[in-house]
Amino acid sequence: MSDAPTPPPVDAIAEAPKSWFEKAGAALPIALTALATAFAGMSSSEMSRAMYWRSAAAQDQSKANDQWSLAGFKRDRALIVQTAAAQLHAAAGYRPWKPAVSPGANPGARANGWREWERKAAEAPVDDEAVRKVLDAVRDHKPEADAVALARKVSRHKLDAIVGANDSEIDRMDDEWRPLSAEADKATQAAVVAAGRADDAGRAKAADEARGAQAARYEIDAGRYRAEAVLNRSAGFLYEVCVKISVGNSDRHRTRSENFFYAMLAAQVGATIASLGLARNRQSTLWLLASAVGLVSVGFGIYVYLGI
């Protein structure tokens, strides 16, 4: 009989404790997969924001087009009434006519109302330096990329305040023009009534006075249309700046979405490599199958990105 000790059962042999590195290696594929999922969600969120800002750019462009249309219409209308005024002046023998309206604080501005109001509208200031730079880029037809780069420095809240101030200027001009238009209407109507009541000897002169009154009334309308056209054009440029800001925000979020996509792809590649390492270490068919599926998905993604 041998005196050698009996070996303990196989299941009684305790496994050697795993190191921290081995435990982390086993959890690495799961962690990288979770990270890839998080990056995928962030990429999708950024793309949704990019689409939102692209829609906002389309809305701003529609508003700008409306302002350009209004400016063109009012310029055309100003030319029409100014032509009518010139024809009436010619029919009246270019007789000078001074309407009996309140001159206000500046008689010269009232006498040449359309030029003065157009000049005042053209001098509407923009105090923000960043907005002025984008406006200059739009007016000078600089490349889209340059204008968008400048627009990224503009505060949307400040720009909205400037747009609101421009709209308030249109309302203020309308309020100041309304009493002048009412007085001019009264003076024109009085001249027409006087021409109708004049006797045969003074009817020709009274008719010329009535034509001159109507011509002056048309000049007032031409002035208003010209001044409002300038303000509408200014609003159009401001909305073009809004378009550049929205496009810049959309491009920024689209770039972030693209970068998050690359980060997701890198995490998936890392998870696949980690799965291959575990499959080799443990010689597990399941881990090997998971690694093969990961490699196929990564390869298909690269094919779609580069080949389609």
pLDDT, position 107: 37
Average pLDDT, the chain: 77
* Residue 302 predicted with pLDDT over 60: yes
| Mean pLDDT, rounded, for 271-287 | 70
Tell the residue number behind the tokens 């305790």, with chain if given. Answer: 14
pLDDT, position 201: 66
**Cα–Cα distance between 295 and 308 in angstroms, integer?**
19
**87 pLDDT tier (thresholds 50, 70, 90):** confident
- Amino acid identity of 140? D
Question: Residue 14 gets which letter from DSSP?
Answer: P
> Which of 16, 103, 108, 74 minimizes the C-alpha distance to 229?
74
Number of Cβ within a 10 Å radius of residue 94? 12
* Residue 258 predicted with pLDDT over 80: yes
* Residue 266 predicted with pLDDT over 70: yes
* Residue 2 predicted with pLDDT over 60: no
What are the residue ranges spanned by the domains of the chain? Answer: 29-261
pLDDT, position 104: 45
Question: Tokens standing for 251?
Answer: 């491009």
Q: Are 228 and 170 in contact (CB under 8 A)?
A: yes
Per-residue CA distances from 39 to 47, 214, 251, 296, 303 (Å):
12, 71, 19, 20, 20
pLDDT digits (tens, 9 = 90+) for 22-51: 555 567 778 888 888 898 999 999 999 999
| Mean pLDDT, rounded, for 105-124 | 52
pLDDT, position 100: 46
Most confident of 14-28, 176-190, 230-244, 256-270: 230-244
Helices (H), the chain: 20-91, 107-111, 113-122, 129-139, 144-151, 156-197, 203-282, 285-307
> Which of 284, 278, 257 minimizes the C-alpha distance to 32?
278
* Residue 102 predicted with pLDDT over 50: no
Say how many Å lie between the first and final Cα of the chain, rounded: 78
SS3 86: helix
**Cα–Cα distance between 203 and 194 in angstroms, integer?**
9
State the Rg of the chain over Cα.
39
**3 pLDDT tier (thresholds 50, 70, 90):** low
pLDDT, position 282: 65
pLDDT digits (tens, 9 = 90+) for 146-162: 999 998 888 888 888 88
Lowest mean pLDDT among 156-165, 178-187, 240-249, 296-305: 296-305
| Mean pLDDT, rounded, for 210-214 | 79
Q: Are 81 and 218 in contact (CB under 8 A)?
A: yes
- Non-local (6+) Cβ contacts of 162 within 8 A are 126, 127, 128, 131, 238
pLDDT, position 69: 94
Give the burial class of 77: count Cβ atoms within 10 A of its Cβ; 0-12 exposed, 13-18 middle, 19 or more buried: middle
